[in-house]
Amino acid sequence: MKKLEPQARNAYSEDPTDMDSNDFALMLLLDGCFVVWTIISRSLRDGGLEDLQNPIDSKPWPLPVVAQDMLILENQLPFFLLEHLYDFANFRGHSSTNSTSLAVLAFEFFRIFLNLKMKMPSNIEGRQFHHLLHLVHSCISPPENQDGGESSTGSRWGEEYGGASFLWIPTATQLMHSGVYPCRKMYAANILDITFDYENIRIPPVEVDHTSNRIFGNLIAFEQCNEDMNPHFTAYAIAMDCMVHTAFDATLLEDRGIITNSWGDSKEVPKFFNNLCKGVMIDMNRYYLLNVFTHIKKHRSKKYNTWMARLNRDYFSSPWAGISFVEAVVLLFIGIIETIYTVLQYLKSK
């Protein structure tokens, strides 16, 4: 640890000057060993007395909480340091880990405790990660061309829609009124896989609770601190914040199976997304939902879609309403036919 101290200090944005060399090295050693052991302990567990006495492994609830704490931005340790400890302890040669790299074991560890549909990057073995939060961020990304449309560019967006002031979509309620219907996406690649096709904006289900608040908050904070990172979670939070302004919007998305509200109170959902977006900045050229926003704006600009949505809402919101509307139309046509027949009879008699 003493040998790695200069490199480790350079990994922090602010040098912890209040710690002398020995204290800093000791902190790296203890925290690093804890993190590495927590990640690999599932592979080495044998159900013996040591596992039963371990305060983290002996009960089912501590480990998910520890996994969340390990992803707090302020808690990160340089990943090269964790790899050094892992290799130094010769865990790579242990039969239980099957010569697996620490990056792969970390992926498997967090995939269990994060409900985000992580996918292992193809280059995970040779990739250089800053820390564990960076590794998790690299395992969650939106599919390419997820909306099926042509790729949008910043210049095209600026020319057609007036620039950054249009990086916005209406609320879920307003979308419904204009003929755009939020739907739960059943087979999404991950939480970021939002698409739009014709009149449906398809959104993967998301659970709103303290856990997602911590995970999303730290992933967004990481994106905001590193301009080289793709701001996918920031873009996702902005889109959801646009759609969920009121408790009514939240209830609408809850009824459609998009949001699972573990807090119970629908008023907390708009606060959740609004707090995630406070003070965030994003480069439009890297906003992966540009196509989705563009197509929604085009759809809403056509009056026909708004009229059809109003017709469906006012007259076909339920089977009985539809039957009543059809009945009224049939009676109207019968009345018109009777009137025409009466006029024709009158003219014929003349």
Q: Same domain for 250 and 282?
A: yes
Q: Same domain for 22 and 75?
A: yes
Structural domain ending residue among the three candidates 138, 167, 200: 138
Say if 26 falls within a structural domain.
yes
State how far the Cα of 239 lies from the Cα of 146, in Å rounded to an integer. Answer: 15
State how far the Cα of 2 lies from the Cα of 28, in Å rounded to an integer. Answer: 10
Q: Same domain for 284 and 173?
A: yes
For 257-274, give one letter per residue: b (16+ CB within 10 A) or e: ebbebeeeebeebbebbe
**Number of domains within the chain:** 3
Say if 335 falls within a structural domain.
yes
State how far the Cα of 5 lies from the Cα of 350, in Å rounded to an integer. Answer: 111
Q: Same domain for 53 and 103?
A: yes
Structural domain ending residue among the three candidates 91, 109, 138: 138
- pLDDT per residue of the chain (350 residues) written in tens, 0 to 9: 999 998 998 888 777 667 888 999 999 999 999 999 889 887 666 554 455 556 666 566 688 889 999 999 999 999 999 999 998 887 655 555 567 889 999 999 999 888 888 999 888 888 899 999 999 999 999 987 554 333 333 334 444 444 444 578 889 998 888 888 899 998 899 999 999 988 889 999 999 999 999 999 999 999 999 888 899 999 999 999 999 999 999 999 999 999 999 888 899 999 999 999 998 888 878 889 988 988 888 877 776 556 555 656 555 555 655 566 576 777 788 888 878 878 777 777 76
Structural domain ending residue among the three candidates 112, 138, 164: 138
Q: Same domain for 301 and 323?
A: no
Q: Same domain for 212 and 108?
A: no
| Placement of tokens 């979308």 in the chain | 175
| Placement of tokens 């040098």 in the chain | 15
Q: Same domain for 90 and 128?
A: yes
Q: Same domain for 172 and 133?
A: no
Say if 13 falls within a structural domain.
yes
- Could you please report the per-residue DSSP string of 166-184? G-----HHHHHHTT-EEEE
H/E element, 274: helix 268-276
C-alpha 76, offset from chain centre: 22
State how far the Cα of 151 lies from the Cα of 174, in Å rounded to an integer. Answer: 26
Q: Same domain for 42 and 169?
A: no
Say if 311 falls within a structural domain.
no
What does the pLDDT read at residue 56? Answer: 66
Tell me whether residue 223 is exposed, middle or buried, using C-beta atoms within 10 angstroms of its C-beta: 0 to 12, 13 to 18, 19 or more.
buried
Q: Same domain for 269 and 160?
A: yes
State how far the Cα of 210 lies from the Cα of 207, in Å rounded to an integer. Answer: 10
C-alpha 262, offset from chain centre: 17
Expressed as residue numbers, the domain containing 288 is: 154-305
Say if 131 falls within a structural domain.
yes
Q: Same domain for 185 and 124?
A: no
* Amino acid type, 69: D
Q: Same domain for 114 and 184?
A: no
In the chain, what is the greatest distance between 2 CA atoms, to the nearest angstrom? 116
